[in-house]
Structures are given as C-alpha cells and as structure tokens.
Structure 1
Amino acid sequence: MSSIDEITGKPLLRSMIGDRIWRIKESDPVAFKREVREYFARGYPGWTVVRAKHPYIFLRDDRGQGV
C-alpha cells in the first residue's frame, strides 16, 4: 500500500486512532467514517482522511487548498 496521494502525488500523513473507533468499523461503517472524520477534524484541521487500513489512518494535507 502506497502512502502517496493518488490525486496530488504528495506523501500522506500516517496516523492512528483508538480501539473504540476501530471496533465499530465492521458493525457500522457509516458511523466509523463519521467518527474518524470528526476525530481528525478536531485534531488536524485542514487535513482530509483518505484511507483507513488498520492500524493506520492516512491523511492528506489540504490546508490552504480551499478543500
């Protein structure tokens, strides 16, 4: 798995989340996506969640891009 963004060609930030959020991935994927987006919106404003592959969440730096 590449940690390069397919859109921008730039490296992605690899981060992690707690087990509480990972546990809901299989049972409620919609809630999982919502929780992950909210989690990183608070801690990494301007970054976009691109991919989730246990144990990592991959983020793209969209600060200053108007995204």
Structure 2
Amino acid sequence: MDDLTGKPLLRSMIGSHIWSLFDTDTVAFKREVVAYFARGYPGWTVVKVVEPIIFLRDDRNPKK
C-alpha cells in the first residue's frame, strides 16, 4: 500500500543485468531502474525496492 495515496502498488521485476548493479554501483542501479520503467511504464514512479520486487505507484492521472 502506498503511504502517499493509500492505493495498492504495482509489483514488478527487472532483469538480472540491472540487479547486478544493486550491490556494486547504487547510483547506476537507481538510474537504470528509473530508465527501465520510464520506457515500459510511463507515468509510474518507483517507490520501493525489495529484492527481487520493484514497487511502482501510478502517477498518470493524479486526483486534484
């Protein structure tokens, strides 16, 4: 559950080539995760990483 919106989060995964950066280069890991989901899930925001799951929040149509 998202603390900001109270809505359920989408659970997704990423490839091992990105996970390999998790322990060796956290800056590159974060950059690659954001880029990966920007291409595949535009408008979604990465909110939490719990290996092997990435949690995303739907920010495409926020309520006003």
TM norm structure 1: 0.89
Q: Secondary structure at the match of 2:5?
A: coil
Backbone CA RMSD of aligned residues: 0.6
Matches within 5 A, 1:5-24: 5-24=2-21
Q: Report the CA distance between 1:64 and its aligned residue.
A: 1.9
Moved over 4 A (4+): none
TM-score (norm 2): 0.93
Q: Give ranges in structure 2 of 5+ residues lacking alignment.
A: none
Query: Percent identity among equivalent residues?
Result: 68
Structure 1, unmatched stretches of 5+, are none
Is the aligned partner of 1:54 residue 2:45? Answer: no
Give the Cα–Cα distance (whole angstroms) in 2 for the partners of residues 17 and 51 of structure 1. 13
How many residue pairs get aligned? The number is 62
Deviations 1:9-54 (A, max 9, x none): 1000000000000010111101000000000000000000001111
